[in-house]
Structure formats: structure tokens, C-alpha cells
Amino acid sequence: MWPRYGFCNFLPTAILFLTCTGWWRLSNIFCDPQAVDFD
């Protein structure tokens, strides 16, 4: 768990990270599995 004072700073960063990487990678998995590299 993250410190309570840092959670509000962590949450937007996590959302941006998941939005920019996670969903993009998920869309690539469904659209073009060969284009995704899971290193």
C-alpha cells in the first residue's frame, strides 16, 4: 500500500500510465497480436 499522503499523487500517474501503455497494448493484442512485445 502507498502512503496516504502520496496516494493522490500516485493515482493520476497510474491512470495516465495505464491509459498510455496498458490500453494501447491491449488494443494491439486484439488488432495485431504479432505487433506486441512483452519484454
Give me the pLDDT at residue 39, please: 47
> Position 30: which residue type?
F
- For 6-18, the pLDDT digits (tens) are 666 777 777 777 7
How far is it, in rounded angstroms, from Cα 25 to Cα 36? Answer: 7
pTM: 0.34
Give me the pLDDT at residue 19, please: 75
Helix/strand/coil for 38: coil
How does the average pLDDT of the chain come out, rounded? 66
3-state helix, strand, coil in the chain (%, to 5): 80, 0, 20
Q: Which residue has the higher pLDDT, 28 or 12?
A: 12
For residues 23-29, average pLDDT: 67
